[in-house]
A and B are shown apart, each in its own frame.
Chain A
Amino acid sequence: MTRDISRRTFLKGGLAAAGALTASSLPLPSSVKGASDQELATLIDIRKCIGCEACVEACKEVNESKFPEPEQPFPRMYPSRVKVSDWSDRRDEVDRLTPYNWLFIQEATVTVNGREETYTIPRRCMHCQNPPCADLCPWGAARKLKNGITRIDADICLGGAKCAKVCPWHIPQRQTGVGLYLDIFPGFAGNGVMYKCDRCYNRIAEGKLPACIEVCPEHVQKIGPRDEIVKEAHAIAEEINGYIYGEKENGGTNTIYVSPVPFDLLNAGIEKGPGRPGLQPVADSMAHADNLAKAMVIAPMAGIAAAAGKFIATAKKATRLKEENQ
């Protein structure tokens, strides 16, 4: 594979993915399409990042029109324990995720073979393959697109922050005073809108690269069909005796990090907290749903069998009663 996935191969991959999806023959309505390995994924080669934050700036610039413009004063919310999340006067903060900063550079200081090393890691939404933020969103405001992007529709989101709670990295960030909740019961339900990286879905739709990828002087990130990205990540990891994060985490994500040092060391060497996700191991959040979905297929069969069993037993008993009555 070439060093960079050129725009042409990128688009071709995207089109092939679209083709594969159209051909999907699930017996479901046409609005329902099967996802596939042809989802787009990004590769982030941690070795290359110099922490210049050009990507962070580019993200802010191209996505500025999507940022919240909250109405002041905020409507009073009940009960009083409901907290306001207001970042509108801290729009320039870049050292964590905020509704105005969807990508930040996390610094990890680690000691490898007695030597202290520093790594800078671009952090944003992982774009999980089976994202709990979208699966568990009660309104369908957070959703996964066929090309593997998970995005939150700012026009529909009510800001209840469930997505942030169920996300293993607590990525989405809330801004109070914007969105649909203002038109419903602002005092009693909702609290704004949740924001996070949408993988420049509008640029991708136009055949452009996400801004953070395009602007990076060190070509830290790449985007392409997931199977190619995973293959390349493994090739690099093998070459440098390195480690991979994001391929299996949370059941698989569309953000694959490659690092020369183990991720548990990086995880121990980064500052974690609100808006600063960890690099911890993450089990598949939706595994229970997959298992119980199987139970839902078996349960009706058990019900039918029980009813049939009862019918046979009853019929036998009825015959006996009839015989006795005669």
Chain B
Amino acid sequence: MTSMAQASGVGTKWLKRFYVFLFAVMAFTGFGQMPIFKRYYISDIPGLGWSADFYKTHYIHYLGGAVLLGLLAYLIVDYLLTGRRRYCLTASAWARIVLLGGIVITGIFRVLKNLPDVVFSPGFTMLIDIAHLGFMMAYLLAGLIFLIFKSRWTTGLDD
């Protein structure tokens, strides 16, 4: 292991935990954009009353989106600067990265659409709406499959 790698690599465990937490929040508030939480009693669960308020879930989803963008920018730059000298991304990681990219890009278009001076064509609007949900479902499914097969994001360069 190089001295560079020795010096870095702290806090990865916490970062992972934070990523999982953030993703759970994004998935929950994302699904909350569909009018299902009230119908299916989710907002009746004590402490989850707010989940039926579309403005609240939207606010949290946006806030989470900003944090996620910051985190992803950090992880990408960190990988390019130091990470790639210490570990390789596995095939399952690349699959997840592609799906994540799909979620992020469609999400960015969704945010653009909601700006007051931007109007998308009806077909394009529907496409990004459905693609955003589709990428998310695929990401969750992929995550589940990779969890079952214990497929990790990274392998050490020496492995």
- The answer for the CA separation of A308 and B8 in the assembled complex, in Å, is 12
Question: Is B122 touching A153 in the complex (CB atoms < 8 A)?
Answer: yes
Q: Tell me which residues across on chain A come within 8 A of B119, comparing CB atoms.
A: 32-35, 144-146
Question: Is A306 touching B130 in the complex (CB atoms < 8 A)?
Answer: no
Q: Tell me which residues across on chain B come within 8 A of A135, comparing CB atoms.
A: 113-114
Q: Tell me which residues across on chain B come within 8 A of A298, comparing CB atoms.
A: 66
Question: Is B69 touching A317 in the complex (CB atoms < 8 A)?
Answer: no
Chain A CB within 10 A, most for which of B7, B54, B112: B7
**Among A26, A286, A318, which residue has its beta carbon within 8 angstroms of that of B3?**
A318
Interface of B is mostly: helix
Question: Is B7 touching A292 in the complex (CB atoms < 8 A)?
Answer: no
Q: Tell me which residues across on chain A come within 8 A of B133, comparing CB atoms.
A: 138
A306 to chain B, nearest CB (A): 5
A248 to chain B, nearest CB (A): 13
- The answer for the CA separation of A259 and B4 in the assembled complex, in Å, is 72
Question: Is B114 touching A160 in the complex (CB atoms < 8 A)?
Answer: no
**Which residues of chain B from 62 to 118 have a CB within 8 Å of any chain A CB?**
62-63, 65-67, 69-78, 81-82, 108, 111-118
- The answer for the CA separation of A318 and B122 in the assembled complex, in Å, is 54
- Beyond A32-B121, A300-B69, A317-B7, whether A293 also contacts B111 by CB under 8 A is yes
**Among B55, B81, B113, B117, which residue has its beta carbon within 8 angstroms of that of A288?**
B55
Please report A residues at the B interface, Cβ cutoff 8 Å. Answer: 26, 28-29, 31-36, 79, 81-82, 129-130, 135-141, 143-146, 153, 156, 160-162, 165-166, 189, 251-252, 285-286, 288-290, 292-293, 295-296, 298-304, 306-308, 310-311, 314-315, 317-318, 321-322, 325
Please report B residues at the A interface, Cβ cutoff 8 Å. Answer: 2-4, 6-8, 33-36, 39-41, 54-55, 58-59, 62-63, 65-67, 69-78, 81-82, 108, 111-130, 133
New A-B contacts (20) at CB < 8 Å, excluding given A130-B114, A302-B70, A303-B70 = A28-B112, A31-B120, A32-B112, A138-B34, A140-B122, A286-B116, A290-B115, A292-B59, A296-B62, A296-B66, A296-B108, A299-B69, A302-B73, A303-B71, A306-B70, A307-B75, A310-B8, A310-B78, A318-B7, A321-B6
